[in-house]
């Protein structure tokens, strides 16, 4: 069935809002962080040009890096599980109960210039950021 929308005026409003930002400490998955770090280092060799971005970084791997290097897989799966958990715990939305799932459509690894927070388990995490969209 073909629906036409011609003749219907479409507008946009901006409304003030507050959005939640979820965060966690990934020290418990340091092996996954190390694998992701290795993936970024490998991509830096195979794809030496940093992806243009407004993010200040030493290096940003290509978008869809998780499809270029399987070492991102374990961390991708953990981030997915954490997003599902945040949805259930904080947004009262049981994605799995609704038969919905999340996937990483595009992400890049970023080597930043920030220094560690002092604890060895956070050193790898503070050296790079994983962007997921």
Task: State pLDDT tens for residues 19-73.
Answer: 888 888 888 999 999 998 899 889 889 888 887 777 777 777 877 888 888 998 9
What is the span of the domain harbouring residue 81?
Answer: 32-132
pTM (two decimals): 0.68
Listing DSSP states for the chain in one string gives -----TT-------------------GGGHHHHHHHHHHHHHHHHHS-SPPP-SS--SEEPPTTHHHH-GGGHHHHHHHHHHHHHHHHHHS---TTTTT-------EEEEE--PPP-SSHHHHHHHHEEEEE-
The count of domains in the chain is 1
Q: Does 122 fall in a domain?
A: yes
Q: Does 40 fall in a domain?
A: yes
Q: Does 105 fall in a domain?
A: yes
Q: Does 124 fall in a domain?
A: yes
pLDDT score recorded for residue 64: 82
Q: Does 55 fall in a domain?
A: yes
Please write the tens of the pLDDT for every residue from 64-117: 888 888 998 998 889 889 989 999 999 999 988 999 888 777 767 776 655 544
């Amino acid at each position: 069935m073909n629906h036409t929308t011609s003749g219907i005026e479409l507008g946009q409003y901006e409304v003030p809002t507050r959005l939640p930002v979820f965060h966690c400490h990934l020290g418990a998955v340091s092996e996954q962080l190390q694998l992701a770090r290795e993936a970024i280092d490998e991509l830096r060799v195979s794809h030496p040009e940093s992806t243009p971005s407004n993010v200040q970084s030493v290096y940003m791997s290509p978008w869809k890096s998780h499809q270029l290097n399987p070492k991102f897989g374990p961390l991708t799966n953990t981030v997915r599980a954490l997003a599902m958990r945040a949805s259930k715990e904080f947004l009262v939305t049981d994605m799995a109960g609704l038969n919905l799932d999340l996937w990483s459509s595009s992400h890049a690894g970023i080597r930043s210039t920030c220094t560690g927070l002092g604890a060895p388990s956070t050193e790898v995490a503070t050296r790079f950021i994983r962007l997921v969209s």
